[in-house]
Amino acid sequence: MSRGARVAAGDVLGEIGAHVPLRLLVPPDRSGDVDRLAAAGEYATDSVLAVVGGHEIRMAQHWPVRRPRPAGGRLPADVPLHTGQRAVDLLFPVARGSTVAVPGGFGTGKTMLLQQIAKWCDADVIVYVGCGERGNEMADVIEELTELTDPRTGGSLAERTVTIANTSNMPMMAREASVHTGATVAEYFRDMGLDVVLIADSTSRWAEALREFASRMGELPAEEGYPAGLASQLAAFYERAAAVRTLSGASGSVTVIGAVSPPGGDRTEPVTAHTERFVRCLWSLDRDLAYARHYPAVSWADSFSRDAAALAAAHARGGDPEWLPRRGRVARLLAEADRLADLVELVGITALPPRERVSVLAGRLVREAVIQQNALSPGDAYSAPEKTSALVAAVLAVLDRCLELVDSGVRADAVEAVDFTPLLRARESAGPAETAAVVAARDQVLARLREAV
C-alpha cells in the first residue's frame, strides 16, 4: 500500500514477518485515505505503523470479545480439515469452518485427542483454550508444543499456536470470558486469510461458570441450575465458526472443536444435549474402548459427521473418488462386527457361519490396523491422508481374499489361524506418510493366505 491510497475496512496495509504470514489490516470499523505508512523495518507491537483517515493503526488491535468480527460473506464449508487421526479423518471428517463436539467422561482420552489435533491438523493457526482445566495439563501442552516439530514447516509447533490458559484455580469470570476471547483471536487471524482451528477444552467448565454467575446475579435457574439462556449462549459460540470471504476478498475459516465433560458420562445432561443440536460433527468418546486401551476411543456407533457428503465431492476433485464408498464399507464392517459380538459371547464363534466369522475377523482388523492409533509412536502419532487410504485399502484387500477363501470351501478356522501381524503392525512400522511399507505388509499377508489354502 502507498501513502494517499484510499482503503476500506479489512484492506491489507502491509505484511509482518513471522513464522505465520501475518498481515496488517485496516480495522473493521475504519476506512479512508492512508495519511502515513511506516517504512520497512522492525517495530514494537504498540508502534504506530499507519494512519488511515486520521486514526492510528498498530499491530495490536482491540476488539470486544463477545461481538463477532465482520466478514464479507460466508462460503460453503466443503474443504476437509485433515487432523492426522484416522478415526476422525476416515469415519467422522470435519470441514474447515465447521463445528465439532467431543463429549467424553473422565479417563476417555478427551484431552489427549484434542492435543493431538492441535499438534497435527493442517490449519495455519491453532487457538487452544484451556477453560477450567488443571494447570499441569496446560503446562504439559505448552511444553510439548515447544518441543515438537511442525511437519509442514519444519519449525516448532508453538510458532503457530495461541494458548489461552484459564485454569480451574482462576476466577469464575476469567473462565466465562475465555471461550469468547479464543473466538475473537481466531477471527482476527481468519481475517488475514488464514485457516484457524479453535479448540475449547472444555465448554462444560465454561457452562459451569455461566451457572455460577447466573446464581450470583439472582437469575431463575433452569435445568440442573444452568441459566435459561444456556442453549442460546452455546449456539452463539458455535455460530462463530465459518468459512468466510474476508473484507479484503481473501478466504479464511474458523473451525471450532469443543470438548464436553458430562458428569459421570451422562450425555443427557443439558450442556451435552444442547451442544449436540448445534454442531456438525460429534466425536463421542467411549469408556469401554478407553478401558480396553483402544485410542483414540471415538465410538463409531455414537458419533456422526454431517460434513461427510460435502467432503466426498472434495475428495473426488482431489483424485480420490472412492473415498465415500470406502468410508461406508468400513462403517458397515464395524457395525456388523458389533452386532455379532454379543452373539459370539453367547454361543461362541465356532457356532457362526463362515462368512460371519470373517465379519468378526474384519471388525478386529479394521479396529487394530486402521482405527487404533498410538499417540506416542513416531510413525503413528500422525497419519497423512495417503497412509490412511493405504491402510484401509490393504485391510479391505485382505478381507476380500478371506471371503473368497471361505466361499470356495476353505475352513474358517484355517483363515483365522493365519498370522495377520504384519498388517496389524504396518500402522506403526510405516512412516507418517509412507505407503510402500503398508503395501508390503498387505502382500505378505496375502501370501500367507495363499499358503493356508
pLDDT at 18 over 80: no
Cis peptide before 168 (omega within 30 of 0): no
- Here the cell at position 162 is 495461541
Q: Sign of torsion, CA 187 189 194 195? A: negative
Mean of pLDDT values over 248-274 = 92
Of 248, 158, 174, which is closest to residue 206 (Cα–Cα)? 174
For the chain, give the percent of residues with pLDDT over 90. Answer: 76
Under the banding of pLDDT at 50, 70 and 90, the label for residue 360 is very high
AA letter at 8 = A
pLDDT at 265 over 90: no
Under the banding of pLDDT at 50, 70 and 90, the label for residue 60 is confident
Under the banding of pLDDT at 50, 70 and 90, the label for residue 64 is very high
The pLDDT value given to residue 156 = 81
The pLDDT value given to residue 413 = 92
Mean of pLDDT values over 44-51 = 91
Mean of pLDDT values over 360-382 = 94
Tell me: the pLDDT tens digits for 272-291? 999 999 999 999 999 999 99
Tell me: the pLDDT tens digits for 416-443? 999 999 999 999 999 999 999 999 999 9
Of 310, 378, 389, which is closest to residue 90 (Cα–Cα)? 389
The pLDDT value given to residue 129 = 94
Cβ neighbours of residue 171 closer than 8 Å, sequence gap 6 or more? none
pLDDT at 81 over 90: yes
**How would you classify the pairing of strands 304-305 and 281-282?**
antiparallel
Mean of pLDDT values over 368-389 = 93
Given a contact cutoff of 8 angstroms between Cβ atoms, the answer to whether 423 and 445 are in contact is yes
End-to-end CA distance of the chain: 73
Under the banding of pLDDT at 50, 70 and 90, the label for residue 188 is very high
Helices (H) and strands (E) counted in the chain, each on its own, are 15, 17
Return d(Cα 320, Cα 240) in angstroms, integer. 31
Cβ neighbours of residue 248 closer than 8 Å, sequence gap 6 or more? 10, 11, 12, 25, 191, 193
pLDDT at 446 over 90: yes
Tell me: the pLDDT tens digits for 247-257? 999 999 999 99
Cis peptide before 296 (omega within 30 of 0): yes
Of 445, 105, 46, which is closest to residue 263 (Cα–Cα)? 105
- Here the cell at position 164 is 489461552
157 DSSP assignment: G
The angle that helices 172-190 and 230-238 make with each other, rounded to 10 degrees, is 30
Task: Tell me how crowded residue 112 is: count the other CB atoms within 10 A of its CB.
Answer: 16
Helix (H) or strand (E) holding 52: strand 48-52
pLDDT at 263 over 90: no
AA letter at 432 = P
Mean of pLDDT values over 328-338 = 96
The pLDDT value given to residue 123 = 93
The pLDDT value given to residue 25 = 93
The pLDDT value given to residue 119 = 86
AA letter at 95 = A
Of 189, 298, 204, 305, which is closest to residue 252 (Cα–Cα)? 189
The pLDDT value given to residue 444 = 96
Distances in Å between the alpha carbon of 272 and those of 73, 103, 267, 330? 30, 7, 6, 27
Given a contact cutoff of 8 angstroms between Cβ atoms, the answer to whether 276 and 234 are in contact is no
The pLDDT value given to residue 138 = 84
Q: Sign of torsion, CA 193 382 420 350? A: negative
Return d(Cα 202, Cα 131) in angstroms, integer. 6
The pLDDT value given to residue 140 = 84
The pLDDT value given to residue 155 = 79
Q: Please, which residues bridge with residue 109 across strands?
A: none
Unique residue bearing C-alpha cell 473426488: 316
Task: Tell me how crowded residue 400 is: count the other CB atoms within 10 A of its CB.
Answer: 11
Under the banding of pLDDT at 50, 70 and 90, the label for residue 185 is very high
Tell me: the pLDDT tens digits for 87-146? 999 999 999 999 999 999 888 989 889 989 988 899 999 999 999 888 888 888 888 888
pLDDT at 412 over 90: yes
Give the max Cα distance, the chain. 85
